[in-house]
Structure 1
Amino acid sequence: MAQWITGEVIENYAWNQELFSVRVRTQPFEFIAGQFVRLGLQHDGGRIQRAYSLVNGPDEGVLDFLVNRVHDGLFSPMLHDLRAGQSIEVSQPPSGFFTLNEVPDGDSLWLISTGTGIGPYLSMLSTDIPWQRFKRIHLIHAVRFAADLAYSAKILEWVKAHPGQLTYQPVVSREDHAGALRGRIPALIKSGDLQRAVGDVLDERAQVMLCGNPEMIRDAKVLLNDMGLPKNLRRKPGNVTVEHYW
C-alpha cells in the first residue's frame, strides 16, 4: 500500500499558459531515473491523486514535475494554481519500469517523446548511466508549438557538454520553427527524415524508448517492428521500450 509524505511547493514555473513545472521539496528518498510517483491534493474532504514522472535526477534535492493543464480535468488545474509555500502530498515508494536498466545494450539510444513525455528522459540524462552505456544518444521531442519545447536550454547545455554524443531534435507539428522538423514521429521515421536529421540509422544496434501519446507509440511501434526492431520484453529482449503517458 502506498505511503504519503508531505512536500512544500517551492516554485510553479510557467513555460506557457498551459505547460508548467511544479517543483517540490520533500524529505529525501531514492528512485530510479524514469520512475514516477503520485501527487495528491485534498479536495472535498478527500485526497485526489495522479501519477507524474520525476523530471529531476535521483541525486537532485528538488522534485520536478512537468504538467500540461487539462481545462476540463480536475487535478491539473489544481496543480496549475499551486503557489510557493503550499503543501502537496507525494506517494512512496516510487514506481515504474520505464528505466534504463530495463533497456538492453546497443550503440545508439533514441529517446523519443511527445509533450510532457520528455520528463523521464531528462531524469535519465541527469545521471551517468546513458553517457556511459551508449555511444550516441538522440533526444527527440515532438510538440504542437515551439513554446511547448520545455527545458530546451538545459538540453542544449548537455549537447554542449557531450559533443558528438548527444543530438537534440525538436519536432513541431503546428508551426514552422528553426531547427525543428514538422510532422508526426511515425511519418518522419518512415520517410527517413528523422534519421537524416540526427545523422544516424535505426538498425539492430539501436535501442528506442517511446514515451507520450498512445497513438504515436502504437504507430511507431508497428513501424519499428516492421523495420526489424521488435518490442523489448523481459522474457525476450528487443529494441523498443515503451511508456504510455496518458
Structure 2
Amino acid sequence: MDALVSAPAFPIPDNVFAERVVSVKHYTDRLFSFRITRPAAFRFRSGEFVMIGLPNAEKPVYRAYSVASPSWDEEVEFFSIKVENGPLTEHLQKIIPGDTVLMRKKPTGTLVLDALLPGKRLYLFSTGTGVAPFASLVRDPETYEKFEEVILVQTCREVAELTYITELVEALAEDPLVGECSAGKLRLHTTTTREASPRMGRVTDLMRNGKLFSDLGLPAISPETDRAMICGSMAMLNETKYVLESFGLEEGANNAPATFVVERAFVG
C-alpha cells in the first residue's frame, strides 16, 4: 500500500470525513475514477462538488471535485485527471482499495436542478472530467421528472477519454432505479478534437454552425424550451456561456434560477 495515502497520520478535523477507497479504475494515462465509502451523515444534491484531499501531510492539500455518483448511491464516486506534479493528483492517482481519502463535510455548487427554471430539454455540456457532475445528474430520477429530454455532450481530445461516460450511459439501461425513466430521454453526444472519430469538433463550433443540432435532429437552442449546464476548462466555460447567451439564455444560480448555469470549481 502506498504509505502516502494509507491511514491518516494526523488528527482529522471535525469538518472532514476520512473514508476508505472501495475501487479504482484507470481509463487512460490521464484519467481515472474511484469510489469511496459514504458516511451516513453525508448529504448532497446531484451535481454538487466537495473538497477532497489525502492524509499525507499535517496540512493536506484539498481540491474541488464534483461528486460523480447520484445522491442515492451508497458510495461516493469521483472522476479525476492525473497531473504528474499536481499537489494533489500526483498522489491521488496512486490510490488503491483500502487507502484513505479525506472529504470535507459540506458540498456545494451551481450545477443543480434547483438553479434552473422549468423547461422541456436539458443540455449538459462538458469537456474532460467536467462530465463528472453530469454523471451524477443522469443517474438521478429527478432529472427525468423535470425534463422530457436530456442531451449529455462531452468533448475530449481522444476517443479513449470518452470511455468513462460511454460505459456509464450504456449501463444505465440495466439500472433498476433509473433505467426505465431514462429510456428514450437520455442522449449521449460525444466528440473528439484530436483523434479521428465519427464526430469531431469543439462543441462551441458545432453549436455555432448548427451541426450539433442537425446531428441530434433538434432545433437550435431556445430560451422558451431549453436549459443548459456547463462544466469544463475555463476557456470552454467562457466560450460556451457566450454561445448560450447568443441563443438568448441567461445565467442562473441557486438563489436566482434562470436558463443555464456554470460550474467553475472543478478539477480538470
TM more than 0.5: yes
CA displacement at 1:230 relative to structure 2 = 2.3
Aligned to 1:85: 98
Paired with 1:183 and 1:2, the residues of 2 have a C-alpha distance of 46
Aligned to 1:216: 236
Q: 1:235 to 1:58 in 2, by over 3 A?
A: closer
> Any idea what SS the aligned residue of 1:210 has?
strand
> Any idea what SS the aligned residue of 2:47 has?
coil
Paired with 1:237 and 1:36, the residues of 2 have a C-alpha distance of 19
> Any idea what SS the aligned residue of 2:204 has?
helix
Matched, 1:203 2:222: yes
CA displacement at 1:234 relative to structure 2 = 5.9
Paired with 1:6 and 1:80, the residues of 2 have a C-alpha distance of 18
Unaligned runs of 5+ residues in structure 2 are 1-12, 174-178
CA displacement at 1:105 relative to structure 2 = 0.6
Q: In the TM superposition, what whole-angstrom CA distance separates every residue of 1:149-183 from its partner, at most 9, and x where no partner exists?
A: 113122124367544311110011111223xx211
Q: In the TM superposition, what whole-angstrom CA distance separates every residue of 1:48-90 from its partner, at most 9, and x where no partner exists?
A: 2111111011111111110001123121011101111111111
Query: Quick one: which of 170, 177, 186 aligns to 1:156?
Result: 170
Aligned to 2:86: 73
Q: 1:122 to 1:2 in 2, by over 3 A?
A: farther
Aligned to 2:115: 102
CA displacement at 1:44 relative to structure 2 = 4.1
- Larger proportion of strand: 1
Paired with 1:93 and 1:84, the residues of 2 have a C-alpha distance of 24
8 Å CA contact 1:112, 1:141 repeated in 2: yes
8 Å CA contact 1:185, 1:216 repeated in 2: no
90-99 or 79-88: which moved more?
90-99
Relative contact order higher in (CA < 8 Å, ≥ 6 apart): 2
- 1:1-246 alignment, distance < 5 Å: 3-28=15-40, 29-149=42-162, 150-158=164-172, 161=180, 162-178=182-198, 181-201=199-219, 202-204=221-223, 205-233=225-253, 237-244=257-264, 245-246=266-267
Paired with 1:165 and 1:94, the residues of 2 have a C-alpha distance of 28
> Any idea what SS the aligned residue of 1:48 has?
coil
Paired with 1:227 and 1:59, the residues of 2 have a C-alpha distance of 34
TM-score (normalised: structure 2): 0.85
84-93 or 221-230: which moved more?
221-230
> Any idea what SS the aligned residue of 1:42 has?
coil
> Any idea what SS the aligned residue of 2:72 has?
coil
Report the residue type matching 1:134 in the other structure.
F
8 Å CA contact 1:6, 1:26 repeated in 2: no
> Any idea what SS the aligned residue of 2:54 has?
strand
Paired with 2:257 and 2:66, the residues of 1 have a C-alpha distance of 24
> Any idea what SS the aligned residue of 2:34 has?
strand
TM-score (normalised: structure 1): 0.92
Q: In the TM superposition, what whole-angstrom CA distance separates every residue of 1:85-127 from its partner, at most 9, and x where no partner exists?
A: 1111111021223211111111100011111111111111211
Tell me the percent identity.
25
Paired with 2:102 and 2:252, the residues of 1 have a C-alpha distance of 34
